[in-house]
Amino acid sequence: MTVQLYLAAILFILMITIGGKKGARSFVALFLNFGVLLFTIILMNDPNLNPIILTLIACTLISCISLFFISEINIKTVTAFLSTIITTGLLLFFILMLTDQAMIQGFSEEETEEIGALSLFVGVDFVKIGASMIIMSTLGAIIDLSISISSPMREIAYHNPAISQKDLFSSGLSIGRDILGTSTNTLFFAFFGGYMGLLIWFKDLSYTIGEIVNSKVFSSEMIFIGSAGIGVALAIPVTSWITAYYLVKRRSESRDSGGR
């Protein structure tokens, strides 16, 4: 048995022990999401298919698996799903424009040295591929933030049935502000942790600070982190408003049906 299998077994046992049935579903969801991601990447190699449309379809499937498969269909997961899709759609237009203007698509100078013997005319739109990469990297944080806001908002509405939509929205914003710092730090360290070897490589190549900051690969990572942070920040008001609207609307419908 390889190390990977040992780690998977330990992870499975811990998720079952701590999370019960929901932990088991979360473990299965990891493989389902991996399958969706892998299938999407394979399809992106086809120049006749639009990577942006593939990304939106993949984001929808991953959101459904992460929310409805793990926590079932209820008002918390439905509002978190709507918030994730809306935030991803808004972020996509911004990232497309930014990727095109910053010219960070394609391979960097450092990467082309390794693949110089291969043909670089692969026939795909690297601007859209770059935007898809940023969206995929941000999606997990947006889903996590959305359900982290909608779940406590539902509890607040349950224990305070007279609370107004405005106060409920303010509560969602307050919860989101507490989560924002940790979410952005998680994204920051995840990106930098993955590229720690690149920083060491820069040192071996005797790059100056200016050359590092202006290098294509470093700039693209900075844009990745900035875009992910914007997506997380944008998800807070979107989730708060949608959840407050649906909770108050359902409460009004329940009162109307009870009064008849």
Do 129 and 105 meet the contact criterion of CB atoms below 8 Å apart? yes
pLDDT per position as a tens digit, 52-79 = 888 889 988 998 998 888 888 888 889 8
- Residue 164 amino acid letter: S
205 contact partners, CB below 8 Å, separation of at least 6? 110
**pLDDT at res. 242:** 92
Q: What amino acid occupies position 84?
A: T
What is the CB neighbour count within 10 angstroms for residue 153?
Answer: 27
Give residue-wise pLDDT tens across range 209-256.
777 777 777 777 777 778 778 888 888 999 999 999 988 888 887 777
CA distances 73 to 28, 64, 77, 79, Å, are 17, 9, 6, 10
Please list, in sequence order, all residues whose beta carbon lies within 8 angstroms of the beta carbon of residue 62, skipping any fewer than 6 positions away. Answer: 33, 36, 37, 139, 143
CA distance 136 to 92: 10
Q: Out of 31-35, 60-64, 133-137, 196-200, pick the least confident.
A: 196-200
**Torsion angle defined by CA atoms of residues 23, 27, 28 and 30, in that order, rounded to the nearest 10 degrees:** 130
Predicted confidence (pLDDT) at residue 5 exceeds the cutoff of 80: yes
Query: Using CA atoms, how far apart are residues 19 and 31, in angstroms rounded to an integer?
Result: 17
